[in-house]
Structure 1
Amino acid sequence: MPAYDPNNIFAKILRGELPCNKVYEDDRALVFLDIMPRAPGHALVLPKSPARNVLDVAPDDFAHVMKIAQKVAKAGMQVFEADGVTIQQFNESAGGQVVFHLHVHVIPRKEGVMMKPPASEKEKPEILAAQAKKLAATMQAA
């Protein structure tokens, strides 16, 4: 497996070199909205540790990411009045991974509404900012 690249886009976001629509942050994880969401509220949960994917992440860091993903899923169900949630996590190119920093997709879903294709359409920044604010407030209240 190739080595972790500290210059991947998510590492730059974690270091504050690139902006994001932050939803949640603690000492071990960061949650922000995908700029090309497959559905409203599509969030990404990342460990702060430099892990390429599930194949090299420390088990405790992966467990923490999944704990936060569950909190995001519960908040997303409420905020977006979702009927369900899709959780996705890809590993290496053959597994569908595009950005090589471990991340978990948390996507609120409505019954009968298909997800957009991956990386198909950028959402308006003001919409993402409003969604992130609502999701963050709901997570804080929980």
Structure 2
Amino acid sequence: MASIFTQIINGELPGHFIWRDERAVAFMTIAPIKSGHCLVVPVEEVDHWDDMPEELAAHLMLVAQKVAKGLKSVYQPKRVGVMVAGLEVPHTHLHLLPIDAIGELDFSLQRPAEADELAAEAQKIRTSLLDLGFKEADCG
């Protein structure tokens, strides 16, 4: 059975996308730690991040760097944190979130978000990425 992320990527479940190319997508998480928390996910289902082909791992990190530039522009954080946990969905994904302190990288701070809130945050990030020249953000 396809992972929940594959179902989102394929349009079978709703998702608020901020990036889409042939190998990776980025979309808002439904349980953000804070505003701007998003996921970078390979289109290919790979359960463990360390099992990804090297080229795909490199591509995922490059997409994360580009998305981070959009997050910096929108939220003005001290840093954009990156986490690979992978316990909740058996499909590799990078968590990106704007942070001002290390304590903000805490999954106990997650909360459910409303669809309209996620849509608004995604739109801000897409606009920023498009302004930075990333055509892959034209996916909303």
TM-score range, shorter chain: 0.7 to 0.9
Give the alignment of 1:24-63 within 5 angstroms. 24-63=19-58
Whether 1:83 aligns to 2:73 is no
Give the alignment of 1:1-142 within 5 angstroms. 6-91=1-86, 97-111=87-101, 114=104, 117-118=107-108, 120-142=110-132
TM-score (norm 1): 0.84
- TM-superposed CA distance for 1:116, in Å, is 5.8
Q: How many residues align?
A: 132
- Structure holding more helix per residue: 2
2:137 corresponding residue in structure 1: none
Residue identity opposite 1:122 in structure 2: P
How large is the RMSD of aligned CA atoms in angstroms? 1.9
Is residue 37–residue 116 contact of structure 1 (8 Å, CA) maintained in 2? no
Counterparts of 1:102 and 1:115 in 2: how far apart (Å)?
A: 18
CA spacing shift, 1:70–1:132, aligned 2, 3 Å: same
CA spacing shift, 1:56–1:117, aligned 2, 3 Å: closer
Counterparts of 2:15 and 2:109 in 1: how far apart (Å)?
A: 16
Unaligned runs of 5+ in 2: 133-140
CA spacing shift, 1:58–1:112, aligned 2, 3 Å: closer
SS at match of 1:55: helix
Is residue 36–residue 118 contact of structure 1 (8 Å, CA) maintained in 2? no
Give 4+ residue runs of structure 1 displaced > 3 Å after superposition.
111-120
- TM-superposed CA distance for 1:119, in Å, is 7.5
CA spacing shift, 1:64–1:83, aligned 2, 3 Å: same
Deviations 1:59-116 (A, max 9, x none): 111111110001111110110121211100125xxxxx21010100001113587356
SS at match of 2:27: strand
SS at match of 2:59: helix
TM-score (norm 2): 0.85
With 116-125 and 43-52 compared, the bigger mean Cα shift is at 116-125
